[in-house]
Amino acid sequence: MAVTKHYGALLLAGAAVAVIGCDGTSSKTAAKSTTFVTLAYDGTPLANVQVRLKQSADGITLDQSVTNEHGVAHFHALPSPEPESYVVAMESISDGGWMLKASVVDKFCDSLRLKPFSETPQQTIELPRRAVHSLSSIH
C-alpha cells in the first residue's frame, strides 16, 4: 500500500537535517509487534506520523511505520544486525500537517536517535512544547 506523502509537512531529525527521498518501502501498520516507538508532543500522542528508521541522516530507510491513534508505531522489518543507533525521520501524513522547528532539530538531534530495538524494544520520543508548528495556515 502506498502512503500519500505531504512533502510540505516533512519533519526530519537526526545529526543533520536531510531531505527524505522516495525509497519504495511500504509501511506496515496492521499487525502489532513487540518492537515499537511511542511518539508524543507535549504529553499528547501523535497519530498519523510516518516514522522512518535510518542508520544515518542521508541513509536509506531500514524500517518504517505509521503511528496509530495512541502514537505508537510498530516495526516489523528491523535489520539484523541492527545499527548502533537509529536516526529518526518523521513526516506528518495528516491533513494540514506540522513540522519540527529548525531550532529544535539542532537542540534535540541526539535525543531523536533510538537505541537498537534488540536492547530496548519499546522506546519513546517526546517532542517538547513549541517544538512543532502547524502547516495548515501555509498555502
For 3, other C-beta atoms within 10 Å of its C-beta total 14
Q: What is the pLDDT of residue 111?
A: 55
**Contacts of residue 18, Cβ cutoff 8 Å, sequence gap at least 6:** 12, 57, 58, 89
Give yes or no for residue 54 having a pLDDT over 70. yes
Mean pLDDT of the chain: 75
2-53 pLDDT per residue, tens:
333 332 233 333 322 332 333 333 444 446 789 999 999 888 999 999 999 9
| Parallel, antiparallel or unpaired: strands 36-41 and 72-74 | antiparallel
* Domains with residue ranges and CATH for the chain: 30-134 (2.60.40.1120)
